[in-house]
Amino acid sequence: MSFSVEYVPNREEVLKESDEKCREQAAILSTVGWLFVDPEFFPDAKSLGNKPEREITKKKKDYENVNDPWFPPHQLMTSWSRTDGNKWQVWDDPWPFHVCQGETGDCWLMAALMTIARRKELLEQIIPKRYYTLKHGIVQVRLFVDGKWKMITTDFHIPQQNGIERFSQLSGNQTWVAFIEKAYAKLKGSYGHLWGGHSVDAYRYLTGAHSRIIPLERNLDIDGLWADLVKFHSSGFLLAAATPRVLEEEKLRKVFYNYYSIESNHAYAILDFKKYGMHRLIQLGNPNSVRWNGKWSEMANYNDATSKKFSELDRTLSKAKVFWMSIEDFVRFYNEIHVCEYQEGWTDYQFKQKISRASRHDGLIIRLNIEKPTDVNIEAHISGENVEQVFLNIHRATNENQCGELIKSVYNQESTLTLGGLTLLPGTYFVVMVCCEVLPKLDVNWMIKRYQALSMKIPNIYFSSSPLTYHFVSCSFSLFVDSLQQVIMKDGNIDEEGEDITIFRLDRVGGAYIMAENRMSYGYFEIQGNLKSTDAYRSKSKNFFNAPMFLAPMTRRIVGVIEFNYDFVSSESCYDYGSNYSVLFRVWKLYGSVNAELEELYEPIRVTKDLNQSEV
């Protein structure tokens, strides 16, 4: 076994280091009277990029006049329409309607920015106000990239055509939207690479918080959805919604969306909720200026006291971009909700780990010590071999330093595992990363978050979130085995249960785990498994099958692991895939030792499960 752990600067430390460098650079620029020009993202055609081929038609051309110079904000024509003449600020009293999408398909980013406009603490974290931004053109944007905080430094030159911004518009005297968009473009390589995305990805970059998509299925429970959305909103979570792609051949559906001025394949911000009599209403914001014209669309977005404080431009933007809609209409037009579980007042601890462990060798786990009830998120951004086979589990620790109760387990076929929404009571916990087969070589970026601002109520006593301590500890191979077996027992199903033996099966996207438990106190079982797949050409591994295995008294053992490769068949944004398999087990009961005479105890146990998944 080999491992290494490196502690990573948190978001405050990352900003402090970058801020010092920018101040030094600003001092140099001040002596020569120059403005900063980013050499890594030069204001030219390469940084502008190209539209995707699907967006280029006879009516829609690629970007034109790509060699036009980029302007500082005060040189753009729209600067004359701002308040206070030519003065501009990074941000000052921003509102959702100040976010205006330009000539690129980044509604997924713009919708996310609309939802954070009133979160000044979060905005200060993402794009801090600094004197050198206004004076020397040095812009800093802090994003969460590949599991760690990173400062993206750019200059303040904005792509323009005929003196008007090409992309996100500068509303009033604020430039924060354009600067964040530019940082994203630098991260992706060009503005052209911003076409198409998901708001959950934007949320992840902007906040570092766990984000997920809730699909809106047909015949869903609207009452339950409303309760969940209100709960998310009251918890301070950020919310966005998306409409489905409506194809040209879906003429009636296209007419339906066009009639009510709802854009298909588009992201919207979810801004507020309220009840009006018996009606449940959702306030939405469109990064563009195409406004829903159905029922409740004419309801005032803000009360009179708030609206009176707006400038004439703000009132115009509010009316054009923000609207109310009933939840019944909402589920007719939208097919996804994007949830970002961000909450203010949290502290993060970051560190990197390299893992290379041979089969059955000891390994490292994270030990958490909690003194008072604490709200915790644990995230692991992993890269390396077979990341889709990795589980991340959290257990209570026993007095014997073994895995006690399994509190939560997650696995993911992507690169990020998140144990979110944990309220840990006082005690000791083990965080275990485990793989059924030989643990591959992995690079892991860990982030442990504790929430300071939250509180919880337990029998009339209020506890504020408290600090936690953590460290890596060495443990035996058997602890990893026990952790995974608990996952199969808790989250899996019982396929067959006899007098002395139980067969468990845990299904997951891409395969299944099968485990047997011998409850006899004196006898062994011999188990022979045979995998038959109707999609055999997709079979990736048939671990432990086609060879006899012995199961000792009062033990559990994983007796089969099935993994499949998938051939994705794409139709626009929809992917359908599935695999069918059956497992035939023969089980013999052995009396005395494993060399004793075999006696067939059960008829063959047949386990059949169809995996038919659909992902949009």
Residues acting as catalytic residues: 107, 266, 286
CA distance 448 to 454: 16
Are 12 and 349 in contact, with CB atoms under 8 Å apart?
Answer: no
Phi-psi region of 524 (alpha: psi -120 to 50; beta: other; left: phi over 0): beta
Other beta carbons within 10 angstroms of residue 609's beta carbon come to 15
Q: How far is CA 224 from CA 220, 221, 237, 341, 420, in A?
A: 8, 5, 17, 19, 21
CA distance 354 to 359: 16
Q: Is 61 helix (H, G, I), strand (E, B) or coil?
A: coil
Tokens 């099966």, located at residue: 505
Are 41 and 154 in contact, with CB atoms under 8 Å apart?
Answer: yes
CA distance 563 to 333: 37
**Is the C-alpha dihedral spanning 298, 303, 304, 310 positive or negative?**
negative
Q: What is the 3-state secondary structure (H, E, C) of 143-185?
A: EEECCEEEEEEEECCECEECCEECCCCCCCCECHHHHHHHHHH
For the range 254-262, what are the long-range contacts, defined as Cβ-Cβ under 8 Å and sequence gap of 24 or more? 257/333, 260/292, 260/293, 260/294, 260/333, 261/290, 261/291, 261/292, 261/293, 262/290, 262/292, 262/333
DSSP 104: S
Question: Could you give phi then psi for residue 255, rounded to 5 degrees?
Answer: -60, -40
b/e for 562-581, b at 16 or more Cβ within 10 A?
A: bbbebeeeeeeeeeebebeb
Are 210 and 420 in contact, with CB atoms under 8 Å apart?
Answer: yes
Question: Could you give phi then psi for residue 211, rounded to 5 degrees?
Answer: -130, 145
CA distance 571 to 219: 24
Bridge partners (DSSP) of residue 511 are 508, 563
C-alpha 116: how far from chain center = 16
Per-residue tokens: 299: 């309801």
CA distance 42 to 161: 17
Other beta carbons within 10 angstroms of residue 1's beta carbon come to 13
Length of the chain: 616
